[in-house]
Amino acid sequence: MTGGGCGPSSDGAAVAVTDDQIQAMTPAERRALIERLARPVTELIPSVSSLERIRHVRLGLMIGGSAGLVPWIVILAVTLPKTYVAHHWALTWVGFDIVLAMLMATTAILGWQRRQLIVLTGFATGVLLICDAWFDVMTAAPDDVWLSVLTAVLVELPLAGVLIFGAVRLVRLMADRMWSLQPGMSVWSLRIPV
């Protein structure tokens, strides 16, 4: 059979759908067909009540963490000295760069293998590059600031943009492929299907 699929109809008879029939469908008809053929979410995840409980705990942690950081930021802004002798300075930067290199290598391998997990590693690598640029510029000695700014502007931030926007584009592509996005809908509006 060329691209068709078979399955029982409501009366038990086999029904074949050809590629030509699928191509003739409207986007809404394809979306409805995909939804009917999709594996039920209940087979893939825990119960809805369990998911809601997990969701509430995670939302509580993020809301509580965000709210808790506000006074902490104010305290730090008021109490931190302008200069500070950092302990384990070399280990801190070397460790950070090792993690960054490992994420970059993992992203490259996943990209080469065309694996969907690249969305996670690409986004995380982009965020770490932004952090690297920030801390390079903020901790640079007065004579080295220009080099840190140049590196941030010409290397770290553009690469971070490529990785983060690339990850978002891949999410959009996967959502479009599954007909989860409506025409013109932003990927930021895409909901979890549970």
> In this structure, are 91 and 127 located in the same domain?
yes
pLDDT of res. 75: 96
Residues 109, 73 share a domain: no
Which residues share a beta bridge with 84? Answer: none
Quote the domain boundaries for residue 57: 48-80
In this structure, the answer to whether residues 52 and 124 fall within a common structural domain is: no
56 and 130 belong to one structural domain: no
Q: Are residues 108 and 182 in the same domain?
A: yes
Contacts of 46 (CB under 8 A, 6+ apart): 54
* 135 and 192 co-located in one domain: yes
> In order along the chain (194 residues), what is the average pLDDT of each group of 10 residues?
49 74 86 77 75 90 96 95 90 96 97 95 98 95 94 98 95 81 79 71
How far CA 33 is from CA of 25, 30, 110, 133, 174, in Å, comes to: 10, 5, 31, 47, 17
Tokens standing for 96? 């950070």
Q: Does any domain span residue 191?
A: yes
Single pTM value for the model: 0.75
Residue 92, in any domain of the structure: yes
Q: Does any domain span residue 15?
A: no
Percent helix / strand / coil, the chain, rounded to 5: 70, 5, 25
Distances in Å between the alpha carbon of 180 and those of 72, 165, 170, 177, 191? 40, 19, 13, 8, 9
What local confidence, expressed as pLDDT, does residue 135 receive?
A: 95
Residue 105 covered by a domain: yes
Structural domains in the chain (count): 2
